[in-house]
Amino acid sequence: MHPVIALVGRPNVGKSTLFNYLTRTRDALVADYPGLTRDRQYGRGRIGERNYIVVDTGGLGDDPNGIELGMQQQAMIAVGEADLVVLLVDARAGLTAADEDIATQLRRLGKPVVLAVNKVDGVDSRLATTDFHSLGLGEPYGISAAHGRGVPGLLEQVFAGL
Ligand code: GDP
Ligand code: MG
């Protein structure tokens, strides 16, 4: 069985960009506006000998009404199906209340979570990740999904957590 990895996080942190990198397809919609990928999206990936299934989700953590509620439900279904969750946050935006809400939800579920701080291109990765320690999800891992920087190391951490 291939492990299932769910990508979660509030809108616009780069989930679909990371999905595309991990699956090397253009299946997930990447857009400059939040919330476009409204359904779950599955893809296969492989690093070395190891295969995995990755699930892109709509954003978690916005006000739970209308379409946002549907997106949150999809994301929670994806989390329920996953063996491990990658919580994505945005180094450029910094730590937000929505990140804290999602982290709280994930900690309650007790699933393994790897915390990835995206968009560290052009910024000091160590500085950019420091604030995110307070989410209580272990060592934040700096990546640039757009450039693939840090992604192999992130996958190492994912497979170590399975
Ligand atoms: P999602 O809503 O979480 O799926 O986010 P998207 O993947 O659609 O990305 C949102 C925006 O962030 C897009 O404009 C992306 O090009 C941009 N983005 C994603 N990853 C990176 C990154 O590693 N670095 C930078 N600078 N921008 C990124
Ligand atoms: Mg998306």
Look at residue 21 and give its three-state secondary structure: helix
Q: Is the pLDDT of residue 89 over 60?
A: yes
Which helix or strand (DSSP H or E) is residue 141 part of?
Answer: strand 141-142
**Which pLDDT score is estimated for 29?**
54
3-state secondary structure of 149: strand
Binding site annotation covers 130? no
Pocket flag, ligand 1, residue 121 (CB < 6 Å): yes
ipTM of the complex: 0.99
CATH tag, 4-161: 3.40.50.300
CB 38 within 8 A of CB 71: yes
Would you give the DSSP letter of residue 155? Answer: H
Judged against a pLDDT cut of 90, whether residue 95 lies above it is answered with: yes
Q: How far apart are CA 105 and CA 99, in angstroms?
A: 10
